[in-house]
A and B are shown apart, each in its own frame.
Chain A
Amino acid sequence: MLVPSPLIPMPVLPLTSEQSPLVLLDLLFKLKVRDVMTTDLVTARRADTLRYVQALMKTHRITGVPVVENGRLFGIVSMDDIMTALDRGHIDDPVERHMTTTVVVLEEDMPLSFGASYFDKYRFGRFPVLNKDNSVVGILTSRDISASLLLELYKEYHKLEAQVQPPAPVGAPRTSLQVRVKQNDLENAGKGAHEIKRALAARRVDPAHIRRASIAAYEMEINLVLHSSGGTLRTTIDNESVEIVARDRGPGIADVQLALQDGFSTANDWIRSLGFGAGMGLGNIRRVADEFSLDSKAGGGTTVRAVIRLPPPVPEEAPHAGG
């Protein structure tokens, strides 16, 4: 049966329409059927029974089995053929008496766009693939196409990402990062600091200054998680400095001068069991920062601001001569 059923309005693989993204269409033309097809074939011989083919389908979880001998394709048995055989009581007959012999095939060097169009054109679930000598070398299913396209798109995505984000934007414009930090969410504490570290490394800031900014940000994040009811960590990076501001919604610090003394802490046992609460955090932020300020009052919010001034970026290494 080669006529498409009018009862199925949706295309099986809606990949060749004008709405498909260009990158997908490009991949469909670039890839060949042989790049995508399954080569680990499950086949039957003409003398095998339909019951044997039914068992093959069950074991390998497939819905169609080509009938092949010495590489030559004689026909194909589909799930429909098996259901008909069960219905009419000829499931123990040899395959050759009931297989579909008018088989639509693909050639291995056809573009994948051609292969994809067959799924909509013929409504079959699979197409055997032949080489130039007309030997069966594989089978193509819509699943093969989807899986390959996903894989190729993933590769393309990484290529594009590399193009969009050059690794060393020396003299790059201002970068702003903002993360929300939740109370007691220790699992995510430090992610913001890690992002700042990455952003500074991408700008080729020297390791000592990256370390100072990362420590300040991390201490602020930990403070937000363990001592506040939640807040935000906002970072602004330009060529001269990194400014990190932690702002929370409370409960505020009753005695700011006391809080700044190393060793003073209001941490409870839970916080201490996590390795924090030694009363070093605020002092450590002040130590690594070139500018530091703390604004707080009991019952209100707290704002901690630290600025680390940056030296000129490390110049880009000259490319190696030759290859």
Chain B
Amino acid sequence: MDFLLLLISAGLVSGAAYGMIAMGFALIYKATGVVNFAQGELVMLTAYVAFSIAGAVDLGFWSLLAVTVPIAMAIGLTLERIFIRPMLGEPAFAIVMVTIGLAVILRGVTIMIWGPDPLDFAAGLSREVITLGPIPFYPAQLYAIGCLAILVGLAYGFLRYTRVGIAMRAVAANETAALLMGVSVKRIHAVAWSLSSAIAAVAGILFAANFKLGPDMWFQGLRSFPALILGGLDSLIGAAIGGLIIGVVETLAQGYLGQGLREIAGFVVIVVILMVRPYGLFGARDIERV
């Protein structure tokens, strides 16, 4: 029983990371209709930026977050302006390919700046074990789950109550109609990219604090696809829940079915979901008519 609880709690922690990364994907997909393949690279880049900030000034976790997030938003805005904005109106395939190209560029640049070796990054959190019931936790693990909950709350409030959030939902529902209603679609796209980078920064810092800060971190972006698909491509809250489920499924597969299954469990889930329910748990159903 303790083994099961341990697996589930470990799964929830890695699932929280997947969930945060997948929320970044979902936000951009919702607003622009494009899967941003560079999301994992954004996570990695912002985590490295946070590492450099933490090396320069001694900050606690929340103040580090408060410094990094605006920088991440600026990075997101810049990338959108340079790479994505000129492609406005091109077919989705072309834009997705641009994000793939962007991903490779960001990956190379990050490694060339910070070097290929993994770094130790505590993100201003202590490393004393906290025990909840029978299960020991590192503070970073609890922060990851907590931050996921906060992000879900913020995303819900943002999309439901703020003017920009409602405009974003309008763009997601019908871009042309939103444009005719006076919504600046370009600005919504830019906002989506900057907010998505902000989410990436939170995810990156917590992932680095929990696991490691290395040049293969971009891979977490691809590892988060199962969460995104399970939640439904365009649902932020779905992505968060999908992340938690995928995290638990992965650790359970590893614990009970065998080593090595952890990496592919999520992808097997993807194939199954796409066969059975391609729009995921919470996604909008695309109905195609002739």
Are A and B associated in one complex?
no
Q: Which B residues are within 8 Å of any A CB, using their own CB?
A: none
* Chain A residues within CB distance 8 Å of chain B: none
